[in-house]
Structure 1
Amino acid sequence: MDNKDIKILAIESSCDETSAAIVVNGRDVLSNIISSQIDIHTKFGGVVPEIASRKHIEAISVVVDEALKEANIDLKEIDAVGVTYGPGLVGALLVGLQYAKGLAYAIKKPLIGVNHIEGHISANFIQYKKLNPPFVCLVVSGGHTYIVYMKDHGDFEVLGSTRDDAAGEAYDKIARAIGLGYPGGPKIDKIAKEGNPDAIKFPRANFHDSGSLDFSFSGLKSAVLNYLNQKEMKHEEINRADVAASFQKAVVSFLVDNSMKACKLKKVDKIAVAGGVAANTCLRKTLIDEGNKIGVKVLFPDFILCTDNAAMIGSAAYFEYKKGKTSTMDLNAVPNLKLGER
């Protein structure tokens, strides 16, 4: 088994992307097919769970077939089936999970349940072929904000997490408030380039409990909404670019400061970034600049690996497989699954 290439067929359906991939040895991606529902949900201003589930049902067989075809792999060559079982939307998770169970049973191969957040972290193993723990990871997406110390594959210490909104969730809400629509992250990132990040001083949460690396974005969100309401009540013009840039500066500075503190705390010289907000250009530049000041190398996956995709699930599943950790057929969806939980 040590010398044999391990081929994982991976499935991801935790939110509004239906994805299937073939990953070899946790690092090499032969195919990574993603069917996005973003255009469907944009008209509703966010993901509608019932619609997401139905679209997953329609797409899943197609993306799996396409992944096998693009990789030029037969099902008989697959060593295991990896699948996201949480966290995420329960209906969406169940579509991928039930399909993966049926497939694993039919081809008589192991089923490996993967934590979606662990998958995001594992995207870095695809991008950086020689990367190995230990390192610090900033996981920042629409549903999650964590600072994690990865001691070993599958062994995590959560150093900080959000106490309310995830960073990506705050982006979506503010984008909606200033009329940019959904999805908020890329739209705020784009318009912020035209604005002055110092135009408006928005507050940042300050936790007085010693050493906390936790986040909170609800106060910042409320401050932005209050600013917009006051402007409207006074019939004053709102400079959307300045609001976006000032809001983004507050979020990014919070993420970066805590990330650098985590690197100093754990005495590591590299930090990996994961999740949808890892594609944010302001976050990337600020992290790199601050990392250079203290000798910390900042690692980012390609943009396609920042969003929800099955390749990252295939990478995480491989490292579980190598440890002999597989799942039984009674594996269920866990919508509120925490990092490190099994």
Structure 2
Amino acid sequence: MRVLGIETSCDETGIAIYDTEAGLLAHCLYSQIKLHADYGGVVPELASRDHVRKILPLIEDALQAAKLTAKDIDGIAVTRGPGLVGALLVGLSVAKSLSLAWNVPMIGVHHMEGHLLAPMLEAKQPEFPFVALLVSGGHSMLVNVKAIGDYEVLGESIDDAAGEAFDKTAKLLGLDYPGGPLLAKLAEQGEAGHYQFPRPMTDRPGMDFSFSGLKTFAANTIRAADNSQQTQANIAFAFQEAVVDTLIIKCKRALKHTQGKRLVIAGGVSANIYLRAQMKRLMASMGGEVYYPDLAFCTDNGAMIAYAGAQRLLAGETTSADCRAMPRWPLDTLAAIEL
């Protein structure tokens, strides 16, 4: 089965074609970073309009890259939520139209399920069950994954997600948008021992996350410090260390709770080099393994949507043409599937 994947949940237009026998055939991505940079964050109306401009040309590019035509597509997978409602509607509208025009089934995919299953695009795939840490700009979540669709949310962010805290702290440091990757780069020049940031919600039981207080602590620290490059690097180092330490502590709790030995880390923040190094060290100490998607599939992309959708289409699941976008959509409401 060849599935066209469409991702338009926020500020990236992702298109891909996945073959359930041959694997990923094509992957095209357009980022709106330059469009939103002047505003210091995503402007929903501008994001929606840009998706309208880019989505059809990218679909044509993907078909051409895969050396296929519309007649070769067996199904369409599209992000239904969560995300910005206007952006979601663009992808859904196109998916519904193509589904009718090409006479193929459509499946609405949960954006976070796409991230969760993104490591399945790699040659070395994790076996079920595993614990997944989903860390992106909008979500921080720990999930006990027993099978596709069989998800138990162990903990999630109650305010700012990890990626959001990275971006907001980067902005406080005067870094350009999007600031998370730039903060991580600046932290490479920082030195340990100059600042001690709190590890939020680690002094109490549970696996929920809260990074708004850490962001406030960073703001106060930045305000009181001098503006030298080294001082900024030291603050970036301490902030990143605090976020990663917090994620490690929560992951360790989740693995002990589930008695698991496999950890999947996905979402935009999973590209962070320091996070990857520390998680590798954690899993080595616990006699387990950690899995990531390729760097190209850490941020929002069509490949993860095509893969997740393909699994559900293979199981006989489809979404009707009158479905609505779901800007808020709890992950643990999804149905489990058997392949």
TM-score above 0.5: yes
TM-score, structure 1 as length reference:
0.94
Which of 207, 210, 213 lines up with 1:213 in the alignment?
207
2:93 corresponds to which letter in structure 1?
Answer: Q
Contact 1:26 1:314 in 2 (8 A): no
Distance 1:103 1:229 in 2: 52
TM-score, structure 2 as length reference:
0.95
Distance 2:173 2:228 in 1: 14
1:72 corresponds to which letter in structure 2?
Answer: K
Is 2:116 the partner of 1:124? no
Which of 91, 105, 112 lines up with 2:86 in the alignment?
91
Distance 1:85 1:75 in 2: 22
Contact 2:126 2:291 in 1 (8 A): no
Where in structure 2 are the equivalents of 1:104-115 lying within 5 Å?
Answer: 104-115=99-110
Distance 1:98 1:194, change over 3 A: same
- 1:73-100 Cα offsets, whole Å, 9 max, x none, are 1211211100001011111111011000
Contact 2:263 2:290 in 1 (8 A): yes
Which of 286, 291, 300 lines up with 2:283 in the alignment?
291
Gaps of at least 5 residues in structure 2 are 335-339
Contact 2:28 2:58 in 1 (8 A): yes
Is 2:54 the partner of 1:62? no
Contact 1:11 1:20 in 2 (8 A): yes
Where in structure 2 are the equivalents of 1:60-209 lying within 5 Å?
Answer: 60-128=55-123, 130-206=125-201
CA RMSD of aligned residues (A): 1.7
Once the two structures are TM-superposed, the CA of residue 334 in structure 1 deviates from its matched residue by 1.0
Once the two structures are TM-superposed, the CA of residue 128 in structure 1 deviates from its matched residue by 3.8
Contact 2:190 2:230 in 1 (8 A): no
Contact 1:135 1:270 in 2 (8 A): yes
Distance 1:7 1:317 in 2: 11
Contact 1:143 1:169 in 2 (8 A): yes
Contact 1:160 1:213 in 2 (8 A): yes
Once the two structures are TM-superposed, the CA of residue 204 in structure 1 deviates from its matched residue by 1.9
Gaps of at least 5 residues in structure 1 are 1-5
Distance 1:184 1:278 in 2: 15
**3-state SS of paired residue (1:22):** strand
Once the two structures are TM-superposed, the CA of residue 261 in structure 1 deviates from its matched residue by 1.8
Is 2:200 the partner of 1:227? no
**3-state SS of paired residue (2:47):** helix
Distance 2:288 2:117 in 1: 19
1:71 corresponds to which letter in structure 2?
Answer: A
**3-state SS of paired residue (1:225):** helix
Distance 1:56 1:236 in 2: 40
Contact 2:51 2:87 in 1 (8 A): yes
**1:3 maps to what in 2?**
none
**1:242 maps to what in 2?**
234
Is 2:281 the partner of 1:300? no
- 1:202-254 Cα offsets, whole Å, 9 max, x none, are 112226654x111110111111111122336xx99971100100000000000
Is 2:246 the partner of 1:276? no
**3-state SS of paired residue (2:332):** coil
Is 2:329 the partner of 1:337? yes
Contact 2:159 2:210 in 1 (8 A): yes
Tell me the number of residue pairs that the alignment of Structure 1 and Structure 2 aligns.
Answer: 334
In the TM superposition, structure 1's runs of 4+ consecutive aligned residues that sit over 3 Å from their partners are 128-132, 207-210, 235-238
Distance 2:254 2:269 in 1: 19
Contact 2:125 2:291 in 1 (8 A): no
**3-state SS of paired residue (1:85):** strand
